[in-house]
Amino acid sequence: MPGTITRRHCLRRFTTAAAAGFLGQQTRSQLSAEEHQPGGECVIDSHVHLKHGDAARTEYSPEVIVQVMDAVGIARSVVFAMSTTTQQSIQMAQRAVAKFPDRLIPFVYALPHYERPVIREIAEALAGGIFRGIKIHAGECTLAEYVIDPVLKLAGCAGVPCLVDCVGHLAAARRMARSFPQTTIIIAHMGRYLSRDPKLIDQFLDLAAECPNVFLDTSGVVLVEKISEAVERLGSERLIWGTDGPHPQPDLASFARAELDKIRGLSLSPEEKANILGRNIARLLRLS
């Protein structure tokens, strides 16, 4: 594997922990995404919160998350916590994944801390081989270069994607994507959560058209026609499905099912839908 040495050296630069297990564990945890493929479609939710960023900082247990997945037919889910420190996010995700190692895929949450060098905590989490990506939220962490660039650099070096909620900050997203072409950036909500501004979403489509390292997450996208337009412009390989759940309205399962139906109801080919619903994130996370 040609990238092995580079990735290891990279992680060692950031962490005091030996990164020796990184690729070995990664291979071991490469649970076949095909295992859960009823009818050739493997549904992977790429955006699930163990802890949300809402006012109540709502938490969901891994048991509840897996119950929703079972009810809706979701094979695996990317899980992470926000509204907490990086260290806590790592511990919460570790506990969840220890209970459901075949179903849950953890991301580490990147949030600067005055007392500790967070970049080392992120690198150590990635070096452990279980964490497969990094979550960044502009609601809690500035996307200014002097804060976020070390994280983007590490992600590119480690070969893991960053799921970034940039809360509509197009200029910041553009700067990150252009500055770190080796880093895969998944833009949450195609730019902004529940956006009803077609021009803003078009600008994020422009960014994805310009930068091949940019992918678009369909969770919380209410202008559903923009998803079809994105497929037309970029190809279905650049879109990633997620629920941004769990969400209690109207109920946990119905919320997730509605997000799934949002994609299934589009006038796209089965191939395109399969890409969006699971294949693309499986490829980015090297699940298959």
List interacting residues with Zn ion (CB under 5 A).
Answer: 244
Closest to Zn ion by CB, 117 vs 139, is 139
3-class DSSP assignment, residue 6: helix
Closest to Zn ion by CB, 22 vs 215, is 215
Closest to Zn ion by CB, 22 vs 107, is 107
Give the span between the Cα atoms of 43 and 38, in whole angstroms: 9
**Smallest distance, Zn ion to C-beta of residue 66, A:** 18
Instruction: Give every CB contact of residue 92 below 8 A, 6+ residues apart in sequence.
Output: 50, 51, 81, 84
**Smallest distance, Zn ion to C-beta of residue 56, A:** 14
**Smallest distance, Zn ion to C-beta of residue 222, A:** 15
**Smallest distance, Zn ion to C-beta of residue 7, A:** 27
Other CB atoms within a 10 A radius of the CB of residue 232 amount to 11
Other CB atoms within a 10 A radius of the CB of residue 64 amount to 13
- Alpha helix (H) residue ranges in 58-127: 62-72, 86-99, 118-127
Closest to Zn ion by CB, 121 vs 244, is 244
**Smallest distance, Zn ion to C-beta of residue 52, A:** 7
Residue nearest to Zn ion (CB): 244
Closest to Zn ion by CB, 124 vs 244, is 244
Which of these, 74, 7, 42, lies nearest to 287 by C-alpha position? 42
